[in-house]
Structure 1
Amino acid sequence: MLRHFFRLIWNRKRSSMLLLSEIFFSFVVLFGVATLLFNFGRNYVAPFGFNHDNVWRLSLAAGQGDKMPRAQLDDVLRQVRALPGVQDVSLTSFNTPFRFVTMNDDFARGDKKLGQVDRYDADDHYGPLYGLKLREGRWFNASDDAATRPLAVISQDTREALFGPDEPAVGKIFRADHRSGSDEPKEYQVVGVVDKVRMSGDFAAATPSVWERFAPHDTTSRESATMLVRVAPGQGAPLQQRMVRTIASLTRQSSTQVYALEQDRLDKLKPTLAPLAALGLIAVFLVVNVALGLFGVLWYNISQRRTEIGLRRALGATGPAISWQFLAEMLILTTLGVLAGALVAAQFPLLSAFDVAPEVYVMAMLLATAVIFVLTAVCAWQPSRLAAGIHPAVALREE
């Protein structure tokens, strides 16, 4: 029976190739769209790795031509920490979570290299303020003041890339590969390893990260500074105004801005949702067009095969048998088209393309396969019913 179906398909190879190519390209496009959607969805449900709720970003900028000494910043930290409703304060770099700014560097250990690592400056309060979960070692503390080289806490994905899955990282040394203004690579000593973090946004994947400890008694003056403030739940504009007034009384010429990290997250989310909505519309548009194309081709196919249907009915074929014949032909063509598309799609996980997890590609292939088969079955059902209802006398008389 299967050989008979293949013979029928081969005898109508021009129309069969049209259907086969449409199914193939539809599968490939659906696979691409599904991969993107699954990848974004997988990132969205993953934990951030830190707690940004009730955390504010406090940005200070000195007046034009002025700078803020570290002693002044320390005084600001103490005064803000003492305000009612403030739970903790941390001095950090400008690249706080969910902003459109980053600070990247390349790191290496031996022959192992890792590029485009997110690097953050952090003090001793940073890790506890964010609730970063330690896997190994500890966060920075006052005992590190006597350290002879810069100290760092790294994320789990950085640890795996530089130290492997089994080798302990705490106490080990790694270096910055490309640090501008340095004749020799800067070396760091690991004091702790934390969980992977997603600081770029809701749909972003976890990125390798390194936190460098601020020099404990740094005398460098700064034109600007960024602080993180964890506040008690329910705090709002009144506390923000008290912060601004307190800082203004200490720094005089400095300007101060206070933003909630949750608002930064929403601001980052809005431009990200636009391309996702466009992808969704493309997927719906594609499915509708594939369905209409398949339905039209099948309808035309049946109108061209009325004589064949009439002869089969005259020879004793039943209506359900005719209907099953058209469904089976379409399912075989669909299987061939999907197999050809799957061979193309399988190259992506095999080649580890686009830094997407293999399971995302597998899920996208399964979804594209299911959608194509369902579309084919639905589109073939009505034309096959029409074919089953053709009376042999009418079909032969028309011929």
Structure 2
Amino acid sequence: MLRHLFTLIWNRKRANLLLISEIFFSFVVLFGVGAVLITTAKNYLAPHGFNYEQVWRLHVRAGQGQKMPRAELDDVLRQVKALPGVRTVALTSGNVPFVFNTNNSVFGYKGKKSPVTNVYDADDHYAETMQMPLREGRWFQSADDGSNHRPVVISQDLRQSLFGNGPALGKIFTWDTPDPNPKAQDEFLVTGVVDPVRMESDFSAPIPSVWLRLLPYDTTHWETANVLVRVAPGAGGVLQEKIARTVAGVTRQWTTEVRVMNDDRLHRRMYTLVPVVGLSIIGLFLIINVALGLFGVLWYNISQRRAEIGLRRAMGATGAGIGWQFLGEMMVVTTFGVVLGILLAVQFPLLNAFDLPVQPYLLAIAAAAGAVYGITALCAWQPSRLAAAIQPAVALREE
């Protein structure tokens, strides 16, 4: 039977070649859309590595042309922390979670090079504020004040890239291109390891990260400061107003913007969803066009082969047999297109394209193949029924 189907397909090779090409390109597009959607869904279901609920961020600015001494800033933080409803307060850098602000670099350790890594500044209360669980070691503490190297906490994925399966605590690494005469602040001492974190958006993959300890009570004069505040459940506008008044009460020239981190997350989610939704619409439009095209081609093939169908029925072929023949032909043609598409798609995981793991690619290949076969079978079903219903006398009389 299969040999007979191949013969029929070969006899109509010119028309079938166009079908195979259409199926091939449909598979490739569905594979690309599937890879994006599967990766996005996988990232969405992964944990963030921290707790953004009940966290606010403060952007504190000094007056125009002025700077805020660190001692005064620390005093403001103590006053904010003392407000009823405030649990913890942490000073950090401007690349707080879910904002369009990044700071990244590359690090090196004994010839090993890290991937591009997010770099955060953090004080001793950052882990408590963000509720980041530690896998190894500890977070920063006052005992680090006398350290000869800058204490850092790294994420598990950065640990793996620099230290592999060996120990990480107590190890010292540097920038990828270290200074020939390094300073103590350019040599980083690992004090702890946390879970991988996703601070860009709900749909982003974990990025290797490092948190550099902000030295307490330094003499730096800052123009702006970014503060994370964990508040009690139910805190709202009243507490936000108290925080703003507390900050402004230091010099009457400082201002602060209070933002809820969960609002930032939802805003970033909508921004990230726009291209994903657009790609999904394009994929759906493609599926509809492919389905209509296949349906029309099969319908036309049946009208052109009525004599062949009538002759087969006159020779004893059943209606079900004719229907299965047309469906089988379409499945064989689909297989040619899918195999060509798979040969192209497997190059992506083999070449480690776009730095994605193998699993999303394999799932996208399976999903694209299943979708193409499903669409083809659905489009071939009704024309196959029409072919099965043709009576031999009617078909031969028309000829």
Cα distance in 1, alignment partners of residues 340 and 120 from structure 2: 47
Q: 1:384 and 1:115 mapped to 2: Cα distance?
A: 55
CA distance in 2 between counterparts of 1:343 and 1:84 reads: 63
Amino acid aligned to 1:58: L
* C-alpha distance after superposition, 1:39-64 (max 9, x if no partner): 11111111110001111101111111
Which residue does the alignment assign to 1:267?
267
Deviation, 1:356, is 1.4
User: Which whole-Å CA distance do the structure 2 matches of 1:248 and 1:22 have between them?
Assistant: 66
TM-score w.r.t. structure 1 length? 0.97
Identify the residue that residue 45 of structure 2 maps to in structure 1: 45
Q: Secondary structure at the match of 1:256?
A: strand
Residue of structure 2 equivalent to 1:174: 173
- Which residue of the partner structure matches residue 299 of structure 1? 299
What residue identity is the alignment partner of 1:275?
P
Per the alignment, residue 36 of structure 1 pairs with 36
Quote the residue 1:5 is aligned against. Answer: 5
- Distance in 1, matches of 2:140 and 2:251, equals 28
Q: Which residue of 1 aligns with 2:134?
A: 134
Go from structure 1 to structure 2 and tell me whether the alpha carbon gap of 1:182 and 1:237 turns closer, same or farther (over 3 Å shift): farther
Residue 101 of structure 1 corresponds to: 101
In structure 1, distance between residues paired with 2:4 and 2:315:
17
Deviations 1:290-347 (A, max 9, x none): 1101101111111111111111111111111111110111111111211111111111
> Any idea what SS the aligned residue of 2:121 has?
strand
RMSD over equivalenced CA pairs, Å: 1.3
Contact conserved, 2:115 with 2:208, CA < 8 A, in 1? no
| Match status 1:81 vs 2:81 | yes
Cα deviation 1:190-232 (Å, max 9, x = unaligned): 0000000000011111100000001123111111111111100
Alignment of 1:122-271 (within 5 A): 122-164=122-164, 166-177=165-176, 184=182, 186-271=186-271
Deviation at 1:357, TM superposition (A): 1.7
Rounded Cα–Cα distance in structure 2 between residues aligned with 1:2 and 1:258: 70
Residue 353 of structure 1: how far off its partner (Å): 0.6
Inter-partner Cα distance in structure 1 for 2:381 and 2:269: 42
- Give the equivalent residue in structure 2 for 1:320: 320
Give the Cα separation in 2 of the matches to 1:60 and 1:232. Answer: 21
> How many Å separate the matches in 2 of 1:66 and 1:29?
55
* Contact 1:105-1:178 within 8 A present in 2 as well: no
Q: Which residue of 1 aligns with 2:346?
A: 346
Q: Deviations over 1:253-303 (max 9, x none)?
A: 111111110111112122112112212211211111111011011111111
Q: What is the one-letter code of the residue matched to 1:83?
A: L
List gaps (5 residues or longer) in structure 1: none
Asked whether the equivalents of residues 115 and 161 of structure 2 are also in contact (C-alpha less than 8 Å), the reply is no
Counterpart CA distance in 1 for 2:207 and 2:320 is 57
How many Å separate the matches in 2 of 1:252 and 1:182?
45
Q: Measure, in 2, the Cα distance between the counterparts of 1:257 and 1:310.
A: 80
Distance 2:359 2:328 in 1: 31
- Contact preservation (8 Å) 1:72, 1:251: no
Distance of 2:176 and 2:368 partners within structure 1: 42
SS of equivalent to 1:95: coil
| Alignment deviations for residues 85-116 of structure 1 (CA, whole Å, 9 cap, x no partner) | 00000111111000000111111112111242
Distance 2:314 2:181 in 1: 91
Partner residue, 1:59? 59
Shift of 1:362: 0.9
Taking the aligned partners of 2:114 and 2:41, their CA distance within structure 1 comes to: 26
> Does the 8 A contact of 1:34 with 1:368 survive in 2?
yes
Query: What percentage of aligned pairs have identical amino acids?
Result: 58
1:164-183 Cα deviation digits (max 9, x unpaired):
1x11100001111258x996
SS in 2 for 1:251: coil
CA contact (8 A) 2:23 2:334 kept: yes
Are the equivalent residues in 2 in contact too, given 1:117–1:207 (CA < 8 A)? yes
Distance of 1:103 and 1:82 partners within structure 2:
31
| Alignment correspondent of 1:277 | 277
Q: CA deviation at 1:252?
A: 2.2
| Residue-by-residue CA offset, 1:130-189 (whole Å, 9 max, x unaligned) | 11111111000111011011110000010011111x11100001111258x996482101
2: CA distance between counterparts of 1:393 and 1:337?
Answer: 36
In 1, Cα distance between equivalents of 2:180 and 2:152: 18
Cα distance in 1 for partners of 2:116, 2:102 equals 10
Deviations 1:112-133 (A, max 9, x none): 1124211000000001111111
Partner of 1:360: 360
SS at match of 1:65: coil
Letter in 1 for 2:248: A
